[in-house]
Amino acid sequence: MRVVVSGSSGLIGRALLRKLSDEGHEIITLVRRPPRGNEVQWDPPRATIDSAGLEGCDAVVNLAGAGIGDRRWSPARKREILESRVGSTALLCQTLAGLTRRPRVLVNASAIGVYGSRGDEVLTEDSAAGTGFLAEVCGAWESATSSAESAGIRVVHLRTSVVLAAEGGALARQLSIFKLGLGGRLGRGDQWLSWISLSDELRAILHVLTQESHSGPVNAVAPSPVTNASFTRALGSALHRPAVLVVPGAALRMALGREMADEMVLASQRVLPERLQASGFSFDHPSVDQAIAAALAA
């Protein structure tokens, strides 16, 4: 396939480029700097894109967006998080819709943040959207693909959970703390954590790219969500370090701000991959112990 990838500098994007290359696909990356080789320039804030470079592509994977957990959520940062997703997605989809030779499929990144914090409720793709900033962002992000859908492009909203990888993301930020024996549960620890290994995330992307039965929301989560307390024990055990400390919810809210703490580290999301499993997808790392071991071995 000839695959266009945006957001290729992030954790998932970098790994996806390697996997696509290893499997023999032709890759075109969207970049903001002057392009080189198989690159196409775009500038979402200025709503410009070299549409000619996208003609004849078979598939598009859109991963672009400012990091949600990189910095404290000031009003300006929240606008950046929203606009970096909605504006870039709308630009890309309007451009794809106007091509003479359109791609067959667009896999557009989304997140399980769309469900909000729901306690012990089991969530699938058929569950209603939740409330909060992240739910609003995800809803607007998914809606921004409407022009591509109207043009007949098959669109998949890949609702990704926490991706477990030692080279980036939430796990990477925790490793140094846990290696020092200073790891512990966050808040009460009974909040549900939905997660996926990096390799299963990549396999899920390729699966929905090629399986034409997939459109609309697809949860990219492992089939065994765990509580924060269980995840803490699993990571401490894998590193052979104690993980018995507790970071109070009040301290997290003070450090991150109430909204960010409540929607990210204290949110409870018990999400299942119903549509992936129904289509025959099997996980290389269905348990959190397997996923952590794979991440540490990479």
For the chain, give every domain's residue range. 2-297
pLDDT at 298: 84
Predicted model pTM: 0.96
| CATH T-level topology, domain 2-297 | Rossmann fold (3.40.50)
| Whole-number pLDDT of residue 132 | 97
Q: What are the residue ranges in the chain where pLDDT is below 50? A: none
pLDDT digits (tens, 9 = 90+) for 60-96: 999 999 999 989 999 999 999 999 999 999 999 999 9
Rounded Cα gap, residues 259 and 66, in angstroms: 18
Nearest-angstrom CA–CA distance, 60 and 183: 39
